[in-house]
Amino acid sequence: MSSRRDFLQKISLSAMALPLLPVSDALNLEDIYDKPYDGPVLRVAIMGLGSYGTRVAEAMQSSKKAKLVGVISGTPSKVKEWQTKYNIPAKNSYNYDNFDRIKSNKDIDAVYVITPNALHHDQVIRVAKAGKHVICEKPLALNAKEGQEMVDACKQANVKLLVGYRMHFEPKTLEVIRMRNAGEFGKISFFQGLCGFRIGDPTQWRLNKELAGGGSLMDIGIYALNGSRYMVGEEPVWVTAQETKTDPQKFKEGVDETIMFQLGFPSGAVASCLSTYNMNNLDRFFLNGEKGYAEMQPSTGYGPIKGRTHKGELTQPHMTHQTVQMDEMADIILNGKKPVVPVDGEEGVRDLKVMDAIYEAVKTGNKVALK
């Protein structure tokens, strides 16, 4: 398998405790997609026309509140292909050298950055300086310092910065969060997140330290990390972690193959997580409380997500995650909507702070305290 995206497709046919929101505030797919919409539309250019950029573009064809209007790529043939396929005018097409010119393009409201991790920092800041809102794929950056610089740059430019956390809008995930907020699980004691797959092509950018910034943790493990935070509903206060590497030729220095990490939360809850590029069939969340539990498998794949709690099977409807994500993000940018789980740049930095601590714990063998 050449990438996480291929794998997920095959297996799937936040600050402190999150606020208690009424059910009506949660995502209602029927309301969004069964009723006509005549409000403002977010006009988006996609930067990075690879496999995931293509997936987002396809999903946006069903969006009501977001529209694909532009492209940014370093590959001229891809630009031409997308111009034809998605009816994108030449004036909305850019490359990585000249995309700063979007500043004078009134047809584009936002840019979705879907490029290798190491490129996010500079590209997001350039988009912000051009006066456009930014959506950036996760991880937001290579480390928390870079992420904070991106947040600061977007604030200075008075544009919004969102991160591509599609699971934050997934209905079954939101139902588990609603149940937790309502006390239906009782006091949370434990979370387990297992995320991994056996990665293929050893020459791909995800196994290149300079482009990826790491290995499995930066790619697939962030789902378990982020999931532990939104499932438990707290911010971790300590981290321990261990790395295992069986193939140093494929997973060179600085590219993690498998990392196990543990998190402690203020309430006393703990999390045990696994991130790997060397095992298939890992896409599972488990949340345990005094009164009940939630289990999701697959938990973060492209869907449909499947899950159950002590009260029975989760039956919320499935829709393409990226379609829902883009409509919800359009609402956030254009109408100031507050999502149940944050997707802003600060949320991305929170994950990066924990990720930095995980790598420090691996290196030192120590328990690392988080502020």
The answer to whether 332 touches 339, Cβ cutoff 8 Å, is yes
Options 65, 94, 112, 138, the catalytic residue: 138
Domain ranges, ordered by start, for the chain: 22-164, 167-317+342-369
For the chain, list residues with pLDDT below 50: 1-25
Residue 184 exposed, middle or buried by CB count within 10 Å (0-12, 13-18, 19+): middle
* Architecture in CATH for domain 167-317+342-369: 2-Layer Sandwich (3.30)
Q: How far apart are CA 87 and CA 356, in angstroms?
A: 42
Give the per-residue pLDDT at 82: 98
For the four alpha carbons of 323, 324, 330 and 333, in that order, the dihedral sign comes to negative
33 is catalytic: no
Q: How far is CA 222 from CA 159, 195, 219, 226, 318, in A?
A: 25, 9, 6, 6, 23
Per-residue model confidence as pLDDT tens digits over 274-322: 999 999 999 999 999 999 999 999 999 998 999 999 999 999 999 999 9
* The domain over range 22-164 is classified in CATH as 3.40.50.720: yes
Choosing from 223, 293, 302, 359, the catalytic residue is 223
245 included as an active-site residue: no
Q: What pLDDT shows up at residue 27?
A: 58
pLDDT tens digits, one per residue of 311-351:
999 999 999 999 999 999 999 999 999 999 999 999 999 99
- Whole-model pTM: value is 0.92
